[in-house]
Amino acid sequence: MKLNLTNDELLSTTRSVRKRLDFDRPVERAVVEECLNLALQAPTGSNSQGWHWIIVEDAAKRKALSDIYKENFKLYASLPGRKYADGDQRIAQMPKVRDSAMFLADEMHRAPMLMIPCIEGRLENVDVATGAGGWGSLLPAVWSFMLALRSRGMGSAWTTIHLILDGEKKAAEILGIPQDKITQGGLFPIAYTVGTEFKPAKRLPLEKVLHWDKW
């Protein structure tokens, strides 16, 4: 199924979906592979194509990865949140965001599939240019994957909490990822969405973040 969305609608309504993931509807491998083939057209530094995609269907492995995420989420949730100036619209949005994130932490294991995108090489303790080049060769492809999901009535949520502390190492052990050679880029639930109508998110106005010629 392909949704009848314009390019602008696709770009402005692809959300991190948590509470509206349909955990009971199976996801077909062929559709995920179709989305990944589109993702492989994303930019990649020096044409390195050092990305790898681990799709987890096995229920026991999904549960084990979700347990890492849930345990790390407890730590994350205990940390002081970011402070915003009085009147900042993000203050009013935080309770909803927090509630949605807590839901996913409890229910992640129910997603029909989980995905961990990876990049060749280790990106901790590297200089800014190397880090930018490494992540710049993975994250555009991940976003393309999420856009492709959205256009097919599916959704995901961009999460990195499982990487906290030794979470990446634990996930690598579960999935047989060579930890010394590969960096994980996140943990993404994959599911059809409950309904396909999504609205653009409330964002800060452009004039607050746009800079012409100087900061």
This prediction has a pTM of: 0.94
pLDDT at 133 (0 to 100) = 96
Right CATH number for 7-79+89-194 from 3.60.15.10, 3.40.109.10, 3.40.35.10, 3.60.110.10? 3.40.109.10
Backbone angles phi and psi of 164, in degrees to 5: -60, 145
Domain boundaries, the chain: 7-79+89-194
Q: Which residues pair with 113 in a beta bridge?
A: 190
Nearest partner of 116 among 64, 170, 186, 166, judged by Cα? 186
d(CA 43, CA 48): 10
Instruction: Check residue 196 and give its pLDDT.
Output: 97
pLDDT on residue 93: 83
Round to whole Å and give the CA distance between 52 and 172: 13
**Predicted local confidence at residue 193, as pLDDT:** 98
Compute CA 10 distance to the chain's CA centroid, rounded to the nearest angstrom. 17
Longest dimension (CA), the chain: 53
Residue numbers of the chain with a pLDDT score lower than 50: none
Cα 2 to chain centroid, rounded:
21
